[in-house]
Structure 1
Amino acid sequence: MTGQIVFDPLLPWPAIWALGAVALAGAALALWRGLRGWPLRFFAGFVLVAALTQPSFQEEDRASLTDIVLMVVDKSASQRLADRLQVTEDAADTLQARIEARPNTEIRRIEVGDGEGDTGTQLMTALSTAMAEEPRGRIAGVFLVSDGRLHDLERAPGLPAPMHLLMTGREEDWDRRLIVRNAPAFAILGEPVTLTLRVQDDGAAPGALQTTLDIEVDGGDPQTFTVPVGEDVELPIELPHGGLNVIRFSTPEGAGELTDRNNAALVQINGVRDRLRVLLVSGEPHAGGRTWRNLLKSDSSVDLVHFTILRPPEKQDGVPVTELSLIAFPTRELFLEKIEDFDLIIFDRYKRRGILPAIYLDNVRNYVEQGGAVLVAAGPDFASADSIYRSPLAEIMPAEPTARVIDEGYRPHVTELGQRHPVTAGMTSEDSWGRWLRQIEVEPISGDVVMSGVDDKPLLILDRVGEGRVALLASDQAWLWSRGFEGGGPQLDLLRRLAHWMMKEPELEEEALWAEATGQSMRIIRRTLEEGVGPVTVTRPDGETEEVTLEEVSPGRFEAIYEGPEIGLYRLAEGEQEAVIGLGPAAPREFEQTIASGEALEPVIDSMRGGVLRLEEGVPSIRSVSAGRPAAGRGWIGITPREAFETMDVRQIPLLPAWLTLLLATGLIIGAWLREGRR
């Protein structure tokens, strides 16, 4: 029970002070004039002014409240290194027992694991949440049992009591980590891209000057280099293929280092072509020639070299060559010296006329077998005696002409196999397509028939020859779609896909396995021309494997969602198809810095006169300290008792009730009058 005097003024305090000054001035005037009743006048004024403040004696019944100590226990991934987790548990249990043994004190224990995704240790977020649930007036102290490596310092709350860091880890700890300073998201194929890396030793490192660095591309055999420690190293790398390239850098684990989880770095770079060079050879001017030219020129990444044979050797009309030819046809330069510079060669209604000798066409065949691409858009010339098929190119052609030209209207349609092939997949609105009016009859020899025409005869055949690719379009009527004949059709989409498939764009591979990462999950995608696929074997970063069953979502496309249990490099395999994908960085944020340190928290701790103590020196004792006093010392930490209470009952007794005020003021005034009268 406690008591105190409280006031409930009838007038504002400035007005009461003014009335008090008037009363004091009246008493002073009486004293100056020598009136003997001036003390009584003074006390009468004092009583009246005091009555305006309505003083009361307030009596409270209070119940004391316990002090609260918040203890945040860090159980993130970095705390599971060496013996830190056991040290943390033992220290937390000891501190909890000591707090509970103190009178009028209780403890709140908050355990913090890894943040969602790769956000790291969220100590301050957990502390802010815990403080929001407790009255600030009862918080007597905050203990952080951690290695001091947190990732949300900017969310540190205002503290009403001292905060202390009880730090795990040891003075002799050391760790090696691999840092990628810069890595582009895209790089041009055929040109080196420079990555900057650094091998950094932290803590009580042994002082190594050099170490080895392994580089793996798409999970292949590693290449080993020797690099200096503690210096930035620039590595020029040339991407091996288009699309996603997963590059993993790693250094071997050193003797005695804390962990090897940060000895690797994962870089994913998309390889893009700078320019695609296409050679288009038109055997003669025709309505479809402009279609090919417009298609290829519409793509800014394509460099097109286009030649049209306007005047074949058999055309002898007496007109001088100098008046017809703009430039000479550089056949030797294109087909012997610089043929390897082209990504794709298109023969559009071309036939043998003696312009390209057999040795040139044989060189085109070698070009395909070594990785090039040839597309033949066949017209009536393909069925003639001068057909390009009657040349060394016959060895790479996927079909043989029967010499029959079918001149009748028909609607092209996608075959069952074509519905699974990426060049023609999804092109199924065939009833709305316009007709083509000519087809060259061919007999398939090899490859995949993805489109058919009259009486289901092959119309578009795709084939792989050696390292290269060949496509045969058995019609020269695709231009009808671009002109909107009978509603037209997906001519632009079809021809663009066809050209990019031949130039080996990764997204158009018919047999492919890849994954798309989102956070710590991935969408596994398998594309195939087969009716079904087997389960995909997933190899996790820790070496464990598991099988994932895929479901068909569209013809030839199978998918599944896989949640990765940890961040790192995953390897996928199904049949002969293999792929790698990285979920998050190879080294999670928790392992970027693993040496225990209180440097980040020191400004916050010092502002509340707390301390940073190493647990390897023992669990500190706990003392009570006054607010504003140093709260930590050698072997001890302090908490500030808050002496919080709960008011159970309140009683007020007026000190100057109205009747008493009237009685005192009247008596004092009459007394002054009598004392100053004649009697």
Structure 2
Amino acid sequence: MNLGADIGQVVFAPLIPWPVLWVAAGVAVLAVALALWRGLSGWWLRGLTAAVLLLALANPSIQTEDRAPLSDIVLLVTDHSSSQKIGDRPAQTAAAEAQIKAELKDLPNTEVREVSVGDAPGDGGTLMMGALSDALAEEPRARVAGAILITDGQIDDMAQAPDVPAPVNVLLTGHRDDWDRRLIVKDAPAYAIMGEPVKLTLEVADQGAVPASAGKTATLEISVDGGKTQSVRVPVGKPLDLPVTLPHGGMNVLQFNVPAQKGELTDRNNAAVVQINGVRDRLRVLLVSGEPHAGERVWRNLLKSDPSVDLVHFTILRPPEKQDGVPVSELSLIAFPTRELFVEKIKDFDLIIFDRYRRRGILPSAYLQNVKDYVENGGAVLVSAGPEFGSVDSLWRSPLGSILPVVPTSQVLVGGFKPEITKLGDRHPVTEGLAAFGPKPKPGEKGPGWGRWFRQVEVKNRGGQVLMTGYDHDPLLILKREGKGRVALLASDEAWLWSRGYEGGGPQLELLRRLAHWLMKEPELEEEALTATSEGATIKIVRRSLSEGHDRVTITGPDGKLYHAPLTETEPGRFTGSWTAPGLGLYRLEEGGKKAVVAVGPSAPKEFEETIATPAKLQPLLAVHRGGAHRVEDGIPGIRRVAAGRAASGRGWIGITPRHAYVTRDLRVSPFLPAWAFLALAAFFALGAWLREGRRR
């Protein structure tokens, strides 16, 4: 055990300023030189006299330090990121770490500071240089004798490499003959228009010591929302433009996978997940108003206010049977293109609205049959009914009647009433939470604070979903799925009272907007749906349903393992839950026949972009600090002590530089000679010079 040592040195504290002392020394040298030139035999004694006097003016002292040596510090930084968990790298890392610590422990006066580096948050990769900088900042630089990095070389912050005041060496895990195949998503849009192909750019790339058996082509497997898988052969090492047409609106989860090859380093980067939100290009709506009325403008304003809606609106101002002698050329600016709209282009519309329409011979039964077929094949029809719906020329008495959700009684109910949301309506996305819109109820008033309506057609429900009731609790808003399409009926034509603010008004705009978007199958308004989104490793689950009893969802992980997540009904018809995924990948969720998929983590994690162990990224750092890279598979090198500035790496060894740092425990200062001793010496040499020169004469 080194307890310390006493180190002495001479220090000066001149009695006069140094410049003056140097001038005096110069004058003394000139005087001695003059004595020598004149041939005085005591010139050298004169010089000794001047030297003693100058030394006395310099005031020399002996300073003695009691020094305690400090140990050298070696930084051992170990990479424990995801790429270090491939193959036998964990075993290599553990063996190298254990042996290096054992050798450093055997070195005298040496300490080890261990630093562990994992995956950076937010898919930041391996930030080893940042960890090295932090460790270096916590230690005195004068004691750092070296840094040893155990890693696969895939460092993502080399630009942040610190200036280490000692050698840096690397122990490289992995093997020279490693090879890997990965799938790269080079370009993928976040949004795409439904029904139109969108281009994705993919590439299958090989890296490392690729064997000939790997081949020049690979099989690419493609699935959407975890459905049926399709396979295509693609070239390896060349970008591929892949056209994809989204099957539905909302979030589409596309999974691409390349089967693992024999001897491949890992298959974790063989799959990629792309999430694309499907949106409609333009929503085409056909609005047919049977006659001018106060509520006609409501529908037009609603649909025209949405920039994504293309509206075609026709109003029948004059029935064909009216004979008043007005010239035909003055009756209309545009003829009603019935054949073009209801035969040739009916499939181009996303929604058809009949606003107080009655049968007057303008649309033949064959055209209304086309509308019925249009609904059954996936279209949508909304009927805004007035008193004409209960008359003899009602739409219910046309081919459309068989798909309408109600039967009219021919009665028109007149009297003030406030629309009310049914229990089913509280759970349905079209009307859920609608009470929060519009005016608040007055003190003591039950239900929403909406204004009243005054007219409603009496209807009887037949298989539809009654979301709102009106006069005497008769059905007011009824929805129904018919075939592949949807039908809705509003049994009153007085929604416009809300838009005018009568008695405070009501949520007319919000109600009609939701109703139109439900009919056009917007995903966020589906009453039976299971959706999931991920935030980091947390999956947030929302199950919408009109029924009860949805208490848990089944989750299938990327490895096929089953999990269960509890659900809680937070609002009527809305069951939510949160579940933490154990790892990255694609998770499939199922509950009550509804399925959803969600990707946890990035499409291609940075840790698996480059998996081949290589010291290439670290070579500039090693060159500056005279270190080297040694593969663990070749044997773990020994540790030597080398002098500063010498090479710190060789065959089978790495070096650290002893810093010889110390701390001063005591400091003592004593005069070199007493003042009288300097005076006596000066007098002695001066007397000697006088005697020598006087005797010579």
Unaligned runs of 5+ residues in structure 1 are none
Q: In structure 1, give the amino acid aligned to 2:319.
A: P
**Given the alignment, which residue of 463, 483, 502 partners 1:485?**
502
> Could you report, residue by residue, the CA deviation over 1:228-265 in whole angstroms, capped at 9, with x for unpaired residues?
00111110111111111111110000011011110001
Q: In structure 1, give the amino acid aligned to 2:90.
A: L
Q: In structure 2, give the amino acid aligned to 1:68.
A: I
Structure 2 residue aligned with 1:552: 569
Structure 2 residue aligned with 1:68: 73
Cα displacement (A) at 1:667: 6.5
1:102 maps onto 2:107 in alignment: yes
SS in 2 for 1:442: strand
CA distance in 2, matches of 1:85, 1:517: 29
- For structure 1, which segment, 515-524 or 288-297, has the greater mean C-alpha deviation from structure 2 after superposition? 515-524
SS in 2 for 1:239: coil
Confirm or deny: 8 A CA contact 1:175 1:595 kept in the other structure.
yes
Structure 1 residue aligned with 2:544: 527
Q: TM-score with structure 2 length normalisation?
A: 0.93
Cα displacement (A) at 1:286: 1.0
Q: In structure 1, give the amino acid aligned to 2:183.
A: L
**Given the alignment, which residue of 165, 171, 179 partners 2:170?**
165
Q: TM-score with structure 1 length normalisation?
A: 0.95
Structure 2 residue aligned with 1:578: 595
> Could you report, residue by residue, the CA deviation over 1:598-638 in whole angstroms, capped at 9, with x for unpaired residues?
11111111110100111111111222211111111222211
1:631-670 to 2 correspondence within 5 Å? 631-655=648-672, 658-660=675-677
Confirm or deny: 8 A CA contact 1:170 1:596 kept in the other structure.
yes
**Given the alignment, which residue of 590, 601, 614 partners 1:597?**
614
Structure 2 residue aligned with 1:317: 324
CA distance in 2, matches of 1:11, 1:237: 91
Structure 1 residue aligned with 2:88: 83
CA distance in 2, matches of 1:676, 1:294: 128
- For structure 1, which segment, 563-572 or 667-676, has the greater mean C-alpha deviation from structure 2 after superposition? 667-676
1:138 maps onto 2:143 in alignment: yes
Unaligned runs of 5+ residues in structure 2 are 1-5, 437-446
1:364 maps onto 2:375 in alignment: no
CA distance in 2, matches of 1:271, 1:629: 63
Cα displacement (A) at 1:328: 0.6
| Cα distance, 1:300–1:654 mapped onto 2, change above 3 Å | same
1:599-614 to 2 correspondence within 5 Å? 599-614=616-631
Structure 2 residue aligned with 1:462: 479
Structure 1 residue aligned with 2:583: 566
Confirm or deny: 8 A CA contact 1:534 1:574 kept in the other structure.
no
SS in 2 for 1:455: helix
> Could you report, residue by residue, the CA deviation over 1:449-492 in whole angstroms, capped at 9, with x for unpaired residues?
11111121111111111111111011111111111111111111
| Cα distance, 1:314–1:645 mapped onto 2, change above 3 Å | same
**Given the alignment, which residue of 348, 352, 356 partners 1:349?**
356
Q: In structure 2, give the amino acid aligned to 1:617.
A: D
Report the count of equivalent residues: 679
- For structure 1, which segment, 122-131 or 557-566, has the greater mean C-alpha deviation from structure 2 after superposition? 122-131
Cα displacement (A) at 1:131: 2.3
> Could you report, residue by residue, the CA deviation over 1:485-529 in whole angstroms, capped at 9, with x for unpaired residues?
111111111111111111111111111111121112121111111
**Given the alignment, which residue of 266, 276, 294 partners 2:301?**
294
Q: In structure 2, give the amino acid aligned to 1:507.
A: E
Cα displacement (A) at 1:10: 6.0
| Cα distance, 1:223–1:36 mapped onto 2, change above 3 Å | same
- For structure 1, which segment, 205-214 or 341-350, has the greater mean C-alpha deviation from structure 2 after superposition? 205-214
| Cα distance, 1:60–1:357 mapped onto 2, change above 3 Å | same
CA distance in 2, matches of 1:533, 1:128: 52
Cα displacement (A) at 1:6: 2.6
| Cα distance, 1:621–1:313 mapped onto 2, change above 3 Å | same
Of all paired residues, the percent bearing the same amino acid is: 62
**Given the alignment, which residue of 340, 344, 349 partners 1:337?**
344
Cα displacement (A) at 1:90: 1.5
| Cα distance, 1:70–1:315 mapped onto 2, change above 3 Å | same
Structure 1 residue aligned with 2:270: 263
Aligned CA RMSD, in angstroms, stands at 2.3
Structure 2 residue aligned with 1:178: 183
1:228-239 to 2 correspondence within 5 Å? 228-239=235-246
| Cα distance, 1:27–1:451 mapped onto 2, change above 3 Å | farther
| Cα distance, 1:675–1:274 mapped onto 2, change above 3 Å | farther
> Could you report, residue by residue, the CA deviation over 1:568-597 in whole angstroms, capped at 9, with x for unpaired residues?
111111011100011112443221111111
Structure 2 residue aligned with 1:619: 636
Cα displacement (A) at 1:75: 2.3
Cα displacement (A) at 1:36: 7.3
Cα displacement (A) at 1:44: 5.6
SS in 2 for 1:359: helix
> Could you report, residue by residue, the CA deviation over 1:90-113 in whole angstroms, capped at 9, with x for unpaired residues?
222222222222222232333333
Structure 2 residue aligned with 1:394: 401
Confirm or deny: 8 A CA contact 1:117 1:520 kept in the other structure.
no
Confirm or deny: 8 A CA contact 1:568 1:583 kept in the other structure.
yes
- For structure 1, which segment, 652-661 or 206-215, has the greater mean C-alpha deviation from structure 2 after superposition? 652-661
Structure 1 residue aligned with 2:385: 378
| Cα distance, 1:58–1:192 mapped onto 2, change above 3 Å | same
Cα displacement (A) at 1:51: 4.8
Confirm or deny: 8 A CA contact 2:96 2:636 kept in the other structure.
yes
- For structure 1, which segment, 49-58 or 158-167, has the greater mean C-alpha deviation from structure 2 after superposition? 49-58
- For structure 1, which segment, 578-587 or 654-663, has the greater mean C-alpha deviation from structure 2 after superposition? 654-663
Structure 2 residue aligned with 1:501: 518
CA distance in 1, matches of 2:449, 2:665: 85
Confirm or deny: 8 A CA contact 2:459 2:491 kept in the other structure.
yes
Confirm or deny: 8 A CA contact 1:347 1:376 kept in the other structure.
yes
Confirm or deny: 8 A CA contact 1:567 1:586 kept in the other structure.
no
- For structure 1, which segment, 255-264 or 539-548, has the greater mean C-alpha deviation from structure 2 after superposition? 539-548
CA distance in 1, matches of 2:139, 2:126: 22
